[in-house]
Amino acid sequence: MPASEAREQRQSFKRLVDFKNYQSFKEIERIQDVYMMGKELGKGSFGSVHLAKHKDLDVGCAIKTIKKSGLTNKVYRELMANELRILGETEHPSIVRVYQLLQDSQNYYVSMELMNGGDLLGRILKKKSFSETDAACIIEQVLQAINYMHKANITHRDMKLENLLCQNDDSLNVKITDFGFACHFDPNQDMNLSLGSPLYMAPEIVDHKPYNNSVDIWSIGVITYIILSGKPPFSGPSKDDIFNSIRYNEPYFGGSTWGNLSDDAKNFVL
């Protein structure tokens, strides 16, 4: 294949299907007929994610595999439909791009942009914490993407370090992924479905109260605290302990770590 044709095919390797309905997945016999499947990269709300390469286009990507057997619950089916609809609507440099939707008899497959640096939790575990400058660079990207989503009346509802992917091992470029709990919202109507990851949940969700898209901002505050200190602001040995910490405790800004950080950083987290 001529190099120019290969480039054109690579450029066209995006937005290949209609995202409005999760039943619009293109039927295939086996995912291995289309993609070379590699190692597992992680797990999302509805399935696992593997490294892959499109056989014809020789383009690297990530494949999210969603087992059809796991979507028997109506709520899960609706969440998945929301996820795909939202991915089809969003186009932002700090949101992972989706390329293609496929299905076989057992699974749905979502082909996505490949982020080689893993998730931000892995980076934190290696680095322990980031400088204020680096943290500001990361959080600015996250806030820009969330602002874009909120303006489109979309809320993520599962913002956490595991859902922020790094471009590569050395880059501070991050993108939001895993829209399994995302949904469109009415600015004049609260939401009430209790979901998310305990460490990052806003108090309204913990207490099963009505909430709005501001729960994403709470979660970003938790993310910022962890990026700067290497520890979560609210924790405990069990989910109930974490929830009680969220309900009754204030973030701790003592010790040598926070003593070396500016008041601006602390005020931003608050």
Catalytic residues: 158
DSSP 8-class letter at 159 = -
Q: CB neighbours of 171 closer than 8 A, spacing ≥ 6? A: 117
- Residue 151 tokens read as 């303006």
d(CA 34, CA 95): 25
Q: Decide if 194 contacts 211 (C-beta within 8 A).
A: no
Q: CB neighbours of 164 closer than 8 A, spacing ≥ 6? A: 119, 120, 138, 142, 174, 175, 176, 177, 223
- Residue 106 tokens read as 């057992």
Dihedral class, residue 15 (left if φ above 0, else alpha if ψ from -120 to 50, else beta): left
